[in-house]
Structure 1
Amino acid sequence: MRVAMASAAAGRAGRANEDFTGALPTAAVLVDGAGIPGTESICRHGVAWYANRLGGGLLGLLSLVPDRSLPAVLADAIEQVTDDHRDTCDVANRMSPSAAVAILRLSHGLVEYLVLGDAYVVLDKADSAPLVVSDPREVVISRSYEPALKTAAEGSDEYHRILSDLRSNRNQPGGFWVAKDDPRAADEAITGGCPIAELTDAGAALLSNGASGIVDRFGLTDWSGVMAMLASSGPDEIIRRVRQAEAHHAVAADDATIAHCTDFGQA
């Protein structure tokens, strides 16, 4: 499998890129970290550390246990990274780092996928529109908090209170699910598979929500257009257009990451 990757930080002062992407010959992983600056008393490591640690753990497990189910692999990786900072950080705190996860793996003639949180996997099918795999639960719940967040000063006590209330819905029945400290969240991931033979040469893509904005936030193209653009110009072009749209609409930039997977053969 060939994988072309691009990742661009939002560029905000003092903020590292909180996305991670990496690949193996038969798998690709994308992790989109989430957290709030200034919460070092909760986790001294921070969101970028969490995303990179989780992503690296996933790649290691995918290479070591290639036949283990994707939810089981994710559960093991969550447990590993939680154990890595359980003794130094308040891992169960609702404001501690968490992440959305997307995984793609080739196995016995199939492209398997997993999505947990607001990341995307897109499979370019030959006989129909692209298969777009996403987990809308966090987006649906977050929208109800948007008016209050827009009126609160970013970084204020009120802003943090609203975010804390929003995050009380994480990893709860009736709420939304992300990778955090409880490996059981992996059981809530959206999973499936597609025969490799049903895909076009454009293959498949994993996108963080900062990159998926080209479709779901700014409406610059549809998912067929995204796959065509990836095939012709690569992931950097997608991110360039998202950055242009963010500037045009005067909205805050977000970390944007894409892994474009092609040349599957019959793995």
Structure 2
Amino acid sequence: MVGNRPARLEQWERLRSGAGRIGDQRHRELMQEIMRGLADAVNVPGGYWIAGSDPRAGQHAVVGDWPLDELADILIATDGVSVAVDKYEVLTWTQIAGLCRTEGPEAVLNLVEEADASDPFGRRWPWAKPSDDKALVHLQVTA
């Protein structure tokens, strides 16, 4: 697991404590160490798959299906958006769907950008970089 590796733990502790910041010399050194450590886990069986590095990663996607009558919304989001739910905990998926319905996906992207900007040094939410690219697709299911 990536989060339990010593370099990642040091990086997060430095950011949380205020002893370091995203982009400082030690942060860059730790990122290089982390990336070297990930090389054996990316796009290999038993690891995790990143399509940006290798489009064949899509062949390893986790898929599921639901009865159409149980769906109201379908959300497809990059990790730059999903961080609002699973890391920042400033939105839920239900809230994101609601915002998409009433204000559109751009409203969600703006909220995530605001959250990113509120923690530029990664103290509240330790992160490898101050923000990530964001993409969000919302499909509203109608009968």
TM-score between the two structures when normalised by the length of structure 2:
0.69
Matches within 5 A, 1:1-267: 141-145=1-5, 146-149=8-11, 152-154=26-28, 156=29, 159-179=31-51, 180-181=53-54, 183=56, 185-200=57-72, 203-250=73-120, 251=122, 252-263=130-141, 265=143
Q: CA RMSD in A?
A: 2.4
Which structure has greater strand proportion? 1
Deviations 1:83-133 (A, max 9, x none): xxxxxxxxxxxxxxxxxxxxxxxxxxxxxxxxxxxxxxxxxxxxxxxxxxx
Give the Å deviation of 1:159: 3.4
How many residue pairs match? The answer is 120
Question: Within 2, Cα distance between the matches of 1:204 and 1:168?
Answer: 33
Residue identity matched to 1:177: W
Structure 2 residue matching 1:246: 3-state secondary structure? helix
Residues 178 and 159 of structure 1: CA distance in aligned 2, closer, same or farther (over 3 Å) = closer
Q: Encode CA deviations 1:181-204: one digit per residue, 9 max, x unaligned.
A: 483x4443211212222222xx21
Structure-1 separation of matches of 2:50 and 2:131: 22
Task: Give CA-to-partner distance per residue, 1:120-163, whole Å, 9 cap, x none.
Answer: xxxxxxxxxxxxxxxxxxxxx22124224456332x4x632331
In structure 2, what is the Cα distance between the partners aligned to 1:193 and 1:239? 26
Counterpart amino acid of residue 172 in structure 1: V
**Separation in structure 2 between the aligned mates of residue 257 and residue 186 of structure 1, nearest angstrom:** 17
What is the DSSP-based 3-state SS (H/G/I as helix, E as strand, rest coil) of the residue aligned with 1:224? helix
Identical counterparts, % of pairs: 23
Using the alignment, how far apart are the partners of 2:31 and 2:98 within structure 1? 40
Contact 1:205–1:260 (Cα < 8 Å) also in 2: yes
Answer whether contact 1:214 1:238 (CA < 8 A) is retained. no
Give CA-to-partner distance per residue, 1:19-72, whole Å, 9 cap, x none. Answer: xxxxxxxxxxxxxxxxxxxxxxxxxxxxxxxxxxxxxxxxxxxxxxxxxxxxxx
Residue 178 (structure 1) shift? 2.9
**Hey, what's the Cα distance between the residues in 2 that align with 1:241 and 1:222?**
12
Letter in 2 for 1:153: H
Displacement, 1:211? 0.7
- Partners of 2:119 and 2:46 lie apart in 1 by 33
